[in-house]
A = this chain, B = another copy of it.
Amino acid sequence: MYKRLIVCIFVLGFIFSSHAEDGSQLWLRFHSVHPQKQLFSGVTGTTATTAMTELQHDWMEMTGKPLYQTNKIENNSLVIGTIQSRNIRSFGLSKELIQLGDEGYVIKTIQQMNKKITVIASSTDKGLLYGVFHLLRLIQTDHLSQNLNISEKPSYQVRVLNHWDNLDRTVERGYAGRSIWRWDELPGKISLRYKAYARANASIGINGTVLNNVNAAPEILSDTNLQKVKVIAGELRPYNIKVYLAINFSSPAKLGGLSTSDPMNAQVRDWWKDKTNEIYRMIPDFGGFLVKANSEGLPGPQDYGRTHADGTNMLADALKSHGGIVMWRAFVYAPTGDDRAKLAYEEFVLLDGQFRDNVIIQVKNGPIDFQPREPFSPLFGGLKKTKLMPEFQITQEYLGQGNHLVFLSPMWKECLDADTYCNGAGSTIAKITDGTLYGNKISAIAGVANIGEDPNWCGHHFAQANWYAFGRLAWNNSLISKQIAQEWIKMTFCSSDSFVEPITDMMLRSREAAVDYMMPLGLHHLFAWEHHYGPQPWCYIQGARPDWLPSYYHKADSVGLGFDRSTSGSNAVSQYYSPLREVYNDLSTCPENLVLWFHHVPWDYRMKNGFTMWDELCYKYDSGLKEVRDFQKIWDKMEKYVDTQRFKGVQSKLRIQAHDAVWWKDACLLYFQTFSKRPIPYDIERPVYELGDLKKIKLNMKSHN
């Protein structure tokens, strides 16, 4: 009896631990999906594909039974195949499939005689993989029907993660542990996480990854390291993930031993050609290079009197014959200049039209640096003859890092949906970048990954939603945030309306809450020095670049607050098209959520609601704090819907967030109050900190991993 009990406990323990609720399974939690209805009677298709393997594996997880393979199509059969397959051709889908490209797919319910069958079809196996994940998502979110008529193709051809991972396995701006790329163990030992990573990305449509930090070490291109890259590429390939590398522009000199890295130097050009050829010999489907050059101290073509075009074209030429691309970052700002927000535009607009056709310029959503809210970068629309790709930051460098629940989809949508007016009304960033507007041959989108070796991949359980959302938007930039949130919630936690509705609501409010308790009304870059976690609007570092100090941006004085970028100030507004430039330029028409971005606003300026700017600022901070407190309430009520481990994990993070929101509010209001000399409106919860004490806070967060 005792023995049996012990065995029983052991078995239960094993089952439990194999499904430990540590978040490691992300949104692919098939073991907890229990389809209410009979799904398919069997499946027809090629077994030797990732798509079929995935389907059968997940089916087993969901139902506990195998999904039998059959050649005979029966009622309620699932048929999977490419246009090479006779079955698929017989359904008359070929024309549509060719239009959808090699990653597109259809999922359709087809009535054939007395049989109703479900078909997933694509031009290639790549599309089938995405089709299968789509079907699985329908099951997971209880949206599978017998009336399907889905056609999908991705908004962007290149949907790529940027890992800011270093070779020593630290992760710049990473908050989820060390890098998942185990350079120290490669190429001999292959972590199981590589395949899990590929699968997770494939499930949301991501098809590329830049393995290493844009602040790139030349050594990434050493023969030794390329052997390791090759192994990773091999692990990711079955899931249609291409590998890209960030390169250091000085590699010819630093790694190759040349005397220069001048892009006009023949030896340098040859070095890159040789290196590229070497890479493609090892990794035939290698994606290309990502380059941060002449930015924040990194080397670049300007070191040799050359332009960004000279530099990127050299690399493009080397990659061209292999089908590779160069993603060249526009994140450049010289330490001189009156307004950092203008600099990238000023530099790149002169080069418009000079880039090769396999070059794409990677532009951060805003003109500064992933702030909680920025206007869109005027490079979007500003460059008309150059391909541009948005760079979003999934990792929450400026949005509470590993501790704050902030769903970023609304922030990215704000950028994608922004109308630049570059070709008249409707010239949104989505349309500029996905090729709709100019018919680009290449389109791409990048997200700076929030992934690390933490069991749940992203540190915060809800940070997974940002990885998910990035993938979904990269696939379909017209998706709305609410749908993305609901999909993720249902797949990751629970499908009950009583859970999905409040949690969706919380997620959709979370970004605006963060803006409010950190930097409302267009404030930006009030962050603490270097680690960027907490508030430090007073920050002064002897000898620091002025444009790395908050006072450069907030310009608080006895008159008011904010950076005058109007025509009477830095004139950054001129980088936008009409009517935006006029709208932004005029304090009375400038959107209030950007008013301190574009104007130095007097403390007593009357906002549209009648409050003074100072009072409104106070109410915004207070509102952000109240939102977080409300998120805590919302979450705490959900205890019965969530496993204890993840419930407590999120609860604990929300406590930190509420705590931090008070810190932000007190720090910013008490500091700005030393300029405004006005009372915090008396109906607002009072500060609990002393400014002097807050100024003493020095967090040791140099490395977060």
Contacts and interface: CB of A to CB of B under 8 A. Distances in A.
A637 B632 CA distance: 30
A457 to B, nearest CB: 23
A680 B636 CA distance: 9
A421 B630 CA distance: 50
A636 B682 contact: yes
A220 interface: no
B686 A654 contact: yes
Nearest to A655: B688
A222 B517 CA distance: 63
B683 A633 contact: yes
A659 interface: yes
A416 interface: no
A629 B685 contact: yes
A652 interface: yes
A690 B636 contact: no
Interface string A640-654: 000000000000101
A687 interface: yes
Nearest to A658: B688
A639 interface: yes
Contact of A686 (B655, B662, B682, B688): B655
A21 to B, nearest CB: 19
A636 B679 contact: yes
A415 B662 CA distance: 39
A503 to B, nearest CB: 15
A675 interface: no
A622 B654 CA distance: 19
A688 B633 CA distance: 12
Contacts of A654: 686
Interface string A607-651: 000000000000000000000010011001101000000000000
Interface in A665-689: 679-680, 682-683, 685-689
Given A639-B679, A679-B639, A633 B686 contact: yes
B629 A682 contact: no
A683 B633 CA distance: 7
Nearest to A680: B636
Contacts of A686: 629, 632-633, 636, 654-655, 658
A659 B652 CA distance: 19
Contacts of A636: 679-680, 682, 686
Contacts of A680: 636
A682 B651 CA distance: 13
B688 A652 contact: no
A674 B683 CA distance: 35
A506 to B, nearest CB: 13
Contacts of A662: 688
B690 A652 contact: yes
Number of copies: 2
Contacts of A689: 655, 659
Interface residues of A, number: 23
A682 B652 contact: no
A335 B652 CA distance: 40
Nearest to A631: B686
A21 B639 CA distance: 53
Contact of A687 (B639, B655, B682): B655
A280 to B, nearest CB: 52
A689 B658 CA distance: 10
Contacts of A632: 685-686
Interface in A117-163: none
Contact of A690 (B655, B679, B687): B655
A689 B632 CA distance: 12
A183 B656 CA distance: 49
A168 to B, nearest CB: 31
Nearest to A648: B690
A390 to B, nearest CB: 36
Nearest to A652: B690
A656 B690 CA distance: 9
A683 B630 CA distance: 9
Nearest to A660: B688
A412 to B, nearest CB: 29
A20 B658 CA distance: 40
Contacts of A629: 685-686
Contact of A633 (B655, B659, B682, B690): B682
Nearest to A666: B655
Contacts of A652: 690
A288 B26 CA distance: 77
Contact of A682 (B637, B658, B683, B685): B637
A628 to B, nearest CB: 9
Contacts of A658: 686, 688
Contacts of A682: 633, 636-637
Contacts of A637: 682
Contacts of A639: 679
Nearest to A685: B629
A659 B688 CA distance: 6
Contacts of A688: 655-656, 658-659, 662
Contacts of A656: 688
A679 B638 CA distance: 11
A679 B637 CA distance: 9
Interface centre among A629, A636, A654 (most CB of B within 10 A): A636
Given A633-B682, A655-B686, A656-B688, 14 more contacts: A629-B685, A632-B685, A632-B686, A633-B685, A633-B686, A636-B679, A636-B682, A639-B679, A652-B690, A654-B686, A655-B687, A658-B686, A658-B688, A659-B688
24 contacts: A629-B685, A632-B685, A632-B686, A633-B682, A633-B683, A633-B685, A633-B686, A636-B679, A636-B680, A636-B682, A636-B686, A637-B682, A639-B679, A652-B690, A654-B686, A655-B687, A655-B688, A655-B689, A655-B690, A656-B688, A658-B686, A658-B688, A659-B688, A662-B688
Interface of A: 629, 632-633, 636-637, 639, 652, 654-656, 658-659, 662, 679-680, 682-683, 685-690
The 10 closest A-B pairs by CB, nearest first: A632-B686, A659-B688, A658-B688, A655-B688, A637-B682, A633-B682, A629-B685, A636-B686, A652-B690, A655-B687
